[in-house]
Amino acid sequence: MKWPQSQRYFEGFRIFTFVSSMLLVIDQIFIRWRMDGEINVVSIAGWLPENIMTSHTLFQYVSWCFVACMALWLFKIVPRIASVLSIFLFILSTSLYLQNEPFGDHRQSVFCLLLILFAAREYKLIQHYFYQVAAGIIVSFYFLAGWEKVFYSGLSWINGTSLQIFVHYMGYRNSHLRELILSNVDIAKFFQTAILIFECGSFMLLGPKPLRWIWICTLIGFHVGIEEIFGYRYFLHLFAVLYLFALPDIMELKNGKNT
């Protein structure tokens, strides 16, 4: 897997990552918090005093400060200082969000690590292997999700029923895929098998071009299905995959035709 070395390609990925991180935090601001029930520590914010940890005003202030710092970093205004502040505020904002949100959410991990990677580049810590590390971050997101299922449940995770229960309670009532999965347990097993193969084998995104494109097409279907059933807004991860794994091949093909 080779990536374009042009400044234009790098700037495109930089702008995409920064804007996506800002949109992700802004999206969190408008998600309803859980304000009752037992409080469990699920993030570093869980160790803060309860009146601070549950303060939605503080969360909003930290989140908008992050957006402001990211804007400075985006336009290369004091980039080194802005990069460190942005990462600190992103982690704090996300920790407060995860501590108070009503459901599990792990959309933030990939973009947090990508921001750290860009900050390292600001300090000239990573120059020659930037895209390899970025690709590893994205692949590991899917790879670990798949093997976590195997580690905790084994192949018994593919039972059909668990997916049916999940989409029944968490899916949109007007989702066509939800109705299809609920209609037949064998269809649910098929989807679970495909998900496990795709996630556990996500390293194929780094493999030969034919295999890479099979996984890219599968990934597109995977994310379309998630949005159609749940509306979890994971499409930013899909765009990151397309930018790092599909666009280089498209650019190579286009340049080949021009020559």
Q: How sure is the predictor about 235, in pLDDT bands with cuts at 50, 70 and 90?
A: confident
The contacts of residue 27 (CB under 8 Å, 6+ apart) are: 233
Mean pLDDT of 111-123: 96
pLDDT of residue 112: 95
The mean pLDDT of 90-96, rounded to a whole number, is: 91
* Of 57-61, 68-72, 179-183, 251-255, the least confident: 251-255
Domain parsing of the chain, residue ranges: 1-34+41-127, 136-251
C-alpha span between 2 and 9 (Å, rounded): 13
Look up residue 183 and give its two tokens.
Answer: 């209609």
How much is the mean pLDDT over the chain? Answer: 91
pLDDT at 117 over 60: yes
pLDDT value of residue 68: 98
Residue with the bigger pLDDT between 28 and 46: it is 28
Sign for the CA dihedral angle at 185, 238, 134, 71 comes to negative
Residue 186 reports pLDDT greater than 90:
yes
pLDDT digits (tens, 9 = 90+) for 124-175: 998 889 999 999 999 999 999 999 999 999 989 999 999 999 999 999 999 9
- Mean pLDDT along residues 173-194: 95
Is residue 259 over pLDDT 60?
Answer: no
Per-residue pLDDT averaged across 91-97, rounded? 90
Given a cut of 60, whether residue 78 has pLDDT beyond it is: yes
Check pLDDT > 70 for residue 189.
yes
**pLDDT(17) > 90:** yes
- 58, 64 in Cβ contact below 8 A? no
* Rounded Cα–Cα distance for residues 244 and 116 (Å): 17
Residue 39 predicted with pLDDT over 70: no
